[in-house]
Amino acid sequence: MADLSRLSMNHVTLLEQCSMPQFVDVLARNDVRLASLWRDKAREHGVEKTAALVRERGIGVSGYCWGGLLTSPDAGEARQRRDDMRRALDEAALLGAPSLIFVAGGVDEVEKSVGEARKRALEGVADVVQHARDVGVRIALEPLHPMICATRSVLSTTKLANDWCDALAAEDIVGIAVDVYAVWWDPDIEQEIARAGKRVCAFHVSDWLADTKDLRLDRGMMGDGVIDIPRLRRAVEHAGYDGPIEVEIFSQRNWWRRDADEVTRVVRERFVSAV
Amino acid sequence: MADLSRLSMNHVTLLEQCSMPQFVDVLARNDVRLASLWRDKAREHGVEKTAALVRERGIGVSGYCWGGLLTSPDAGEARQRRDDMRRALDEAALLGAPSLIFVAGGVDEVEKSVGEARKRALEGVADVVQHARDVGVRIALEPLHPMICATRSVLSTTKLANDWCDALAAEDIVGIAVDVYAVWWDPDIEQEIARAGKRVCAFHVSDWLADTKDLRLDRGMMGDGVIDIPRLRRAVEHAGYDGPIEVEIFSQRNWWRRDADEVTRVVRERFVSAV
């Protein structure tokens, strides 16, 4: 049973329902004090305006989603993406977010090398580490599910995230985000979370629906799927993480179609009963 | 570049087009000498009749797909599934298949424990090992993609398959099937294939489409996706595997809708150019 004071709502859970001001209103109305901000939504409203808005309304920012896609073999594109990652870090700093979620990027369809893509992603992170330090925002390496390895993220396991952290040797400013949806299947997850220890800087929850229909947009509400979420919560807590728990549900066929207040009420209930 | 003499066609590649006799006709017409048989199709035609048919037509049987689903927490169902696995081994022996592909089974929706499901799957395999030995058919543990962990297979990595082989201590009769579609994303795949060594007893090819739409039925033809298939072929060859290479393409939106001879011609071309 998770403590509601740790609940952070990721804007993506209400992606289709809410602009930034609407999202902040829903949180305030439903007594949710923490938010993980979605970059597109923050930029749509304006990053400085968003920073002022959350400050005024007393909403704490637990994270900023996301920057990255650093796997391109094209030098020009790679440079552009690293610059964009630096801008995302600047925005995160302005918003008061302690960390920026890092999404690695996929595999080039001509090159067809997941190994080369991984090499470039790691080099890309190394290249922006000093900027992250300068602006005081942690880079949260987020292993994503192997089913989106081709298109979104070649960082497929927590073991690889730990290996990258070892290689970067920047424990002060690079951490790991553990998302139950991405890692629940991993036979080594408990040992790799223990290995991560204080690297764990974010914990995301949702659920894996047994009848899932889509590779990205069909996540379930906590309790509606097969993930033993409390087991994973205990694992990150045992590793030393006691920060916000972010609810991040991409759900084209269900939760994105419902009333935002209703979704938020269910999130609060399930946060207590299923996290 | 793979040698066409190693080409084995898995019946599932022509699942929608061909009954067993039609499948065998297509192979004979297109000079494909090896087949991996799909259990539903063999039983539909009759296992003994199928055995006679492939013998008459000079088609070698490289494998039999599949037996398993040994993760149920219900004792009665577990017993039934193990009995069914023994029958599948008997059928494989009758068909002259050197191995039976083992599909572990998924996670119980009430229990929600991938760990318990894994324990029971391993115990289930241990229980049928002696029968496999008695009938002379190898059990090929096939790691399947983590995206089907909930419903089809909790055996999600080649590392776990190796761990199970270590635990079973039955190297004579339990091996590992490497399917590029299931394992290409794995950061440890090369080291785990090397660790597997002579355990590798089957190698399956298809491709991961960048725009894949379905968790099971949208595999691509070799060369149409992002998998570096030759790299994985070299890895299994380096481990000591020089047997048949099975083409296994589940493709609801494309290849299952095409003429069987056309599909088989493309398979032969791509086997040379992209495997």
Helix (H) or strand (E) holding A64: strand A60-68
Contacts of B147 in chain A (CB under 8 A): 145-147, 215
Of residues B187, B226, B227, nearest to A157 (C-beta): B187
Helix (H) or strand (E) holding A130: helix A114-135
Contacts of B215 in chain A (CB under 8 A): 147, 212-213, 215
- Chain A residue with minimal CA distance to B153? A185
Contacts of B144 in chain A (CB under 8 A): none
Contacts of A106 in chain B (CB under 8 A): 210, 226
- Chain B residue with minimal CA distance to A114? B185
- Chain A residue with minimal CA distance to B212? A215
Cα separation values, B169 from A125, A137, B143, B162, B173, Å: 43, 50, 18, 11, 9
8 Å CB contact of A228 and B160: no
8 Å CB contact of B186 and A215: no
Cα separation values, A77 from A39, A69, A93, A104, Å: 20, 10, 24, 14
Tokens linked to A230: 């409390």
What values do phi and psi take at B66, rounded to 5? -155, 175
Contacts of B118 in chain A (CB under 8 A): 187
pLDDT averaged over 10-residue windows placed end to end, chain B, 275 residues: 92 98 98 98 98 98 98 97 98 98 98 98 98 98 98 98 98 98 98 98 98 94 98 98 98 97 98 97
8 Å CB contact of A212 and B107: no
8 Å CB contact of B186 and A106: no
Q: Classify B95 in phi/psi space as left (phi over 0), alpha (psi -120 to 50) or beta.
A: alpha
The full DSSP string for A139-153 is EEE----GGGTTTTB
Return per-residue pLDDT of chain A as tens, 275 residues.
Answer: 779 999 999 999 999 999 999 999 999 999 999 999 999 999 999 999 999 999 999 999 999 999 999 999 999 999 999 999 999 999 999 999 999 999 999 999 999 999 999 999 999 999 999 999 999 999 999 999 999 999 999 999 999 999 999 999 999 999 999 999 999 999 999 999 999 999 999 999 999 999 999 999 999 999 999 999 999 999 999 999 999 999 999 999 999 999 999 999 999 999 999 99
8 Å CB contact of A106 and B210: yes
State the pLDDT at residue B93. 98
What values do phi and psi take at A81, rounded to 5? -70, -35
Q: In angstroms, rounded to a whole number, what is the distance separating the alpha carbons of residues A91 and A100? A: 9
Of residues B108, B114, B209, nearest to A185 (C-beta): B114
Please name the residue that has the structure tokens 């099975």.
Answer: B246
Chain A interface test: which of B181, B185, B207, B232 (most A C-beta within 10 Å): B185
Q: In angstroms, rounded to a whole number, what is the distance separating the alpha carbons of residues A173 and A98? A: 10
Burial letters B233-256, b for 16+ CB under 10 A, else e: bebbeebebebbbbbbbbbeeebb
Overall size of chain A counted in residues: 275
- The count of CB pairs under 8 A between chains A and B is 93
Give me the amino acid identity at B98. Answer: P
- Chain A residue with minimal CA distance to B149? A185
- Chain B residue with minimal CA distance to A110? B226
Q: In angstroms, rounded to a whole number, what is the distance separating the alpha carbons of residues A107 and B109? A: 33
Cis peptide before B66 (omega within 30 of 0): yes
Chain B interface test: which of A144, A147, A158, A189 (most B C-beta within 10 Å): A147
Minimum distance, in Å, between the CA of residue A139 and any CA atom of chain B: 21
State the pLDDT at residue A2. 79
Q: In angstroms, rounded to a whole number, what is the distance separating the alpha carbons of residues B68 and B104? A: 5
Give me the amino acid identity at A67. Answer: G
Contact B173, B133 (CB under 8 A): yes
Burial letters A195-225, b for 16+ CB under 10 A, else e: bbeebbbbbbbbbbbeebebbeebbbbbbbb
Determine the angle formed by the axes of helices B20-29 and B47-56, rounding to 10 degrees: 10
Q: What angle do CA A121, B179, A187 make, to 5 degrees?
A: 65
Minimum distance, in Å, between the CA of residue A58 and any CA atom of chain B: 37
Interface residues on A facing B, Cβ-Cβ cutoff 8 A: 106-109, 112-114, 118, 145-147, 149-151, 154, 156-157, 159-160, 163, 184-188, 208-213, 215, 225-228
Minimum distance, in Å, between the CA of residue B16 and any CA atom of chain A: 22
8 Å CB contact of B150 and A226: yes
Contacts of A215 in chain B (CB under 8 A): 147, 212-213, 215
Whole-prediction pTM: 0.97
Please, which residues have CB within 8 angstroms of residue A201's CB and are 6 or more apart in sequence? Answer: A98, A99, A138, A140, A175, A176, A177, A241, A243
8 Å CB contact of A107 and B226: yes
8 Å CB contact of B159 and A188: yes
Of residues B113, B159, B186, nearest to A228 (C-beta): B113
**Which residues share a beta bridge with A139?**
A100, A174
The dihedral of CA A192, A198, A199, A204: what is its sign?
positive
